[in-house]
Structure 1
Amino acid sequence: MSEQIHHVTDDSFETEVLNSDLPVLVDYWAEWCGPCKMIAPILDEIADEYNGKLTIAKLNIDENQETPQKYAVRGIPTLM
């Protein structure tokens, strides 16, 4: 995984995503999700290519249930 990808939680979402100086692409995912694993290498490439212009954040929906519910995430992977 790219070092440019940030793992966020319900507690850090506001600070790292909503208050970010850069645009943020949030990947809502889960460990058991096959399609989530399929897009991970693409997100790594995007994170490296747009380093300093865009932040990629990943939020595990199994470990952080408040944020996906707040933003009506109904399926994964969801990119927002």
Structure 2
Amino acid sequence: MAKKKAFTPLLYLASIVFLPWWISLSFNKSLKSWITNWWDTRQSETFLNDIQEKSILEQFIEVEELFLLDEMIKEYVGTI
């Protein structure tokens, strides 16, 4: 009976020390690569969206400049 009483606190101590370590180790091995891959994918999507946004804005500016040039040509032809 005395061995059981002495064994119980040792078991609790071992679970307090090793359980968090085991959880951390299993998390690092199983989920770390998945989370890193998801984060990198999300960052590249955002980066591509920024590039696409800049490209679209440049195209709109070019169309606006062409429209203004067309208006200037129409006004110039009307004054001749």
Name the TM-score, length of structure 1 as normaliser: 0.23
Bigger relative CO (Cα 8 Å, ≥ 6 apart): 1
Higher strand content, 1 or 2? 1
Which is greater in Rg?
Answer: 2
Task: Give me the TM-score of the superposition, normalised by structure 2.
Answer: 0.23
